[in-house]
Chains A and B, each alone.
Chain A
Amino acid sequence: MTIGTRLMGSRVFIGLGLLCVCVAVWQVVTAVGGVNSFLVPSPAAVALVLVSVLTTGTTYSALGTTIVEIVAALVLAGGFALAIGIPVGWHRLTQHAYEPLLANLAAIPLVILYPVFAVIFGIGPLSKVAFGAATAFFPVVLAVVSGVAATNQSLIVSARSMGARGLTLLLITAIPSALPVIVSGLRLGLTLATLAVVGGEFIAGTQGLGYLLASAGEAFETKKVYAYVVLTLLLAIGLNVAFGLLVWLSRKVEER
């Protein structure tokens, strides 16, 4: 335990250390000159703008919108991925038929279809949710299919011998067996949903973090752009931590 904690401590220390070095280099380079301070403002200046941005209400409502969009996108993607991935992965025939198809579809950069999403769902939050869900769907569904398909066959036979059939058989063998893979698929899906939602707001939107970013850029407020970029970064980290916490909590609850 102590070794683990110490290792964890040094891990965090090393990680933060590198971050500090990067920021320091950034600060030194901007202070020495030679870089256009309009294009690359100093971290100190960005921090000042970030603080002022964080004291305005519009930032928080934008942040709230973006978070809701991302969560909704992930929930939708997860729901569809489970509904489609479980039956596809469960039968060998459907797995062999559809897994390559899904893998190839996943390679399409969906952003080229973003105008279609905007036309169908409007340029409001709905199109971001749909676009985010579509983007996050593929890594999750691929994880579900491969996770379910990788279920140990002898566990299935064993469960059958003990009387498990149909849905019970699935719930007792494939689902718990695939769960770790599904969770890591969802984590990847979360990252992609964040990317897609903020990107969608950036391309064509009326609210949200990406919209603020785009507006600041159009107004040539580069310091503000950087501040929003940092904020997006913090949001991504926060969502990831929240996701990890959720997984940890559900495990605790299940153990009881």
Chain B
Amino acid sequence: MSLFHPTGPRVGSLLSGSIRQAAMTVARRDHGTPSESDGAPASTVVEARTSGPSAAPSLGPSFRSSEVIRVEHLAVSYRRSDGAEVRAVEDVSFSVREGEFVTLIGPSGCGKTSLLRVMGGLLRPAAGQVYVNDVLVKGPMPDAIAYVFQDFALFPWRTARANVEIALQLKRVPRGERRRRALDALDMVGLAEVADRFPRELSGGMQQRLAVARALVSNCGILLLDEPFGALDEQTRLVLGVQLSQLLESAGRTIVFVTHSLQEAVFLSDRILVLSHQPCRIKKTVEVPLPRPRGPDQVKSPAGQRIEAELFQLLYRESLV
């Protein structure tokens, strides 16, 4: 399947739904029933922090089943080199529905990456908690969450194929199946021809697609993308943005995307969370009701322009503070 292959809006979500269902079932089996993790642990961690209800606000029980990610009163701190503790993220709560594309946007250095890393279990929060498929996130969850990093994090001594295979190798997938699935994933992003090349022999855009292929190969229901186009030039960004949106729509994954490009955010998202400067809080949630599949003209449409202008206003005021 080529990247440029036109696909209907969210058709793929029907196809891969069963896979995700399976992943959820496995996760539940490992960590007990969902009811266990629903309310009880929240109070124990949250009480150390500021006030606030222990359940995620404004979300009725009817939504529960389709909520794949639930972030509750999350706070992240880090220690500066002079020893001072800095709050990067403060009291952030939101949830992501199955198959939804949510973008985190905010001024640079506002803690977007920290927030995403906590969601992926790569960083410990100072307070609050994240649930993925109703399971409390305590560490990396390679069966449920795949990550694309800002600098792609490709292994320079491994070929493109071996870079994709590593995700499967760590799950002890047999060699033959590993190879086949890696080639399939490379084919999906249009890199089948360069499967035996090393990352340094690929262009920036190709490296980015390789990183996406590696995230797709493990069939995780959730993709966390940390400024995946950050290191690319403007033209490549635009082309890849179009390709990515088509690819991800067809794959039907739940996606949380970090960016500081307004255009990208409008073009890709179902919902945009505008974050404030340090400490990072959710300033506003902006829905993007543009129809899918989206092309570059959709972003240029009056509705798209309006949303972009609103985002700009929000962020402009934020950066003046």
- Taking Cβ atoms with an 8 Å cutoff, the residues of A that contact B are 152, 154-155, 157-164, 168, 172-173, 176-177, 179
With most chain A CB atoms within 10 A of its CB, the pick from B146, B170, B218 is B170
A161 and B122 contact, Cβ closer than 8 Å, known pairs A154-B149, A172-B170: yes
Q: Write out, one digit per residue, whether chain B residues 110-150 have a CB within 8 A of any chain A CB (1) or not (0).
A: 00000001001110000000000000000010110111010
Min CB distance, A247 to chain B, in Å? Answer: 14
B242 proximal to A (CB < 8 A): no
Distance between Cα atoms of A161 and B225 in the complex (Å): 12
Contact B149 A158 (CB under 8 A): yes
Q: Does B155 contact A (CB under 8 A)?
A: yes
* Residue pair B167, A162 in contact (C-beta under 8 Å): yes
Picked from B122, B143, B166, the residue with its CB within 8 Å of the CB of A160 is: B122
Residue tally, chain B, CB below 8 Å to A: 20
Binding site for A on B (CB under 8 A): 117, 120-122, 140, 142-143, 145-147, 149, 151, 153, 155, 157, 166-167, 170-171, 218
Q: In the complex, which of the residues A155, A168, A179 contacts B153, with contact meaning CB atoms closer than 8 Å? A: A155
Q: 10 new A-B pairs (CB below 8 Å) besides A162-B146, A163-B143, A172-B166?
A: A158-B149, A158-B153, A159-B170, A161-B122, A161-B140, A162-B170, A162-B218, A163-B140, A163-B142, A176-B157
CB of B171 within 8 A of CB of A163, answer yes
Selected contact of A155 from candidates B147, B155, B167, CB within 8 Å: B155
CA distance A154 to B226 in the complex (A): 12
A210 to B153, CA, bound (A): 51
Which residues on the A side are within 8 Å of B155 (C-beta)?
155, 173, 176
User: What distance in Å separates the Cβ of B204 from its nearest Cβ neighbour in chain A?
Assistant: 16
Tell whether A157 pairs with B218 under 8 Å between CB atoms, given A162-B170, A163-B170, A172-B166. Answer: no
Main SS at interface, chain A: helix
Contact A177 B151 (CB under 8 A): no
Could you tell me if B147 and A158 are in contact, using CB atoms closer than 8 angstroms? yes
| Shortest Cβ distance from B117 into A: residue | A157
List of A residues within 8 angstroms of B120 by Cβ: 161
Cβ A157 vs Cβ B170 within 8 A: no
| Given A168-B170, A172-B170, A161:B147 Cβ within 8 A | yes
Q: How far is the CB of A118 from chain B (nearest CB, A)?
A: 44
Residues in A with CB closer than 8 Å to B143 are: 163
- A157 neighbours in B (Cβ, 8 Å): 117, 122, 149, 153
Q: Is the CB of A162 within 8 A of B149?
A: no
Residue of B146, B153, B167, B171 near A154 (CB, 8 A) is B153
Query: Can you show 30 pairs from A to B with CB atoms below 8 A apart?
Result: A152-B153, A154-B151, A155-B153, A155-B155, A157-B122, A157-B153, A158-B147, A158-B149, A159-B166, A160-B140, A161-B120, A161-B122, A161-B140, A161-B142, A161-B145, A161-B147, A162-B142, A162-B147, A162-B170, A163-B140, A163-B142, A163-B143, A163-B170, A163-B171, A168-B170, A172-B170, A176-B155, A176-B157, A177-B157, A179-B157
Taking the nearest CB of chain A, how far is it from the CB of B142, in angstroms? Answer: 3
Q: What's the minimum C-beta distance from A229 to chain B, rounded to whole angstroms?
A: 41
Chain B residue with Cβ nearest A172:
B166
The listed residue with most A CB atoms (<10 A of its CB), out of B142, B143, B153, is B153
Q: Which of B145, B166, B171 has the most CB of A within 10 A?
A: B166
Give the chain B neighbours of A173 by CB distance below 8 A.
155
Q: Which A residues lie within 8 Å of B147 (CB)?
A: 158, 161-162
Cα–Cα distance between A172 and B158 once the two chains are bound (Å): 10
Q: How far is the CB of B157 from chain A (nearest CB, A)?
A: 5
Considering the chains assembled together, what is the distance between the CA atoms of A160 and B146 in angstroms? 11
Q: Which residues of A contact B151 (CB under 8 A)?
A: 154
Are A162 and B122 in contact, CB atoms less than 8 angstroms apart? no
The complex places the Cα of A60 from the Cα of B122 at a distance, in Å, of 59
Contact, CB under 8 Å: A164 / B157: no
Cβ of A56 to closest chain B Cβ, rounded Å: 48
A162→B157 contact, CB < 8 A: no
**Most chain-A CB neighbours within 10 Å: which of B122, B140, B145, B157?**
B140
Nearest-Cβ distance from residue A253 to partner chain B, whole angstroms: 15
Contacts of B166 in A (CB 8 A): 159, 162, 172
- Within the complex, the shortest CB–CB distance from A179 to chain B, in Å, comes to 8
Q: Specify which chain B residues have a CB less than 8 angstroms from the CB of A172 in the assembled complex.
A: 166, 170
Q: Which residues of B contact A161 (CB under 8 A)?
A: 120-122, 140, 142, 145-147
Name the distance in Å between A132's Cβ and chain B's nearest Cβ.
Answer: 31
Distance, CA A155 to CA B142, complexed state (A): 15
CB-defined contacts of A160 to chain B, threshold 8 Å: 122, 140
In the bound complex, residues from chain A placing their C-beta under 8 Å from that of B149 are 154, 157-158
Q: What CA separation (Å) do A177 and B153 show in the bound complex? A: 13
Tell me, in angstroms, the Cα distance from A177 to B157 when the chains sit together.
8
Residues in A whose Cβ lies below 8 Å from that of B146 = 161-162
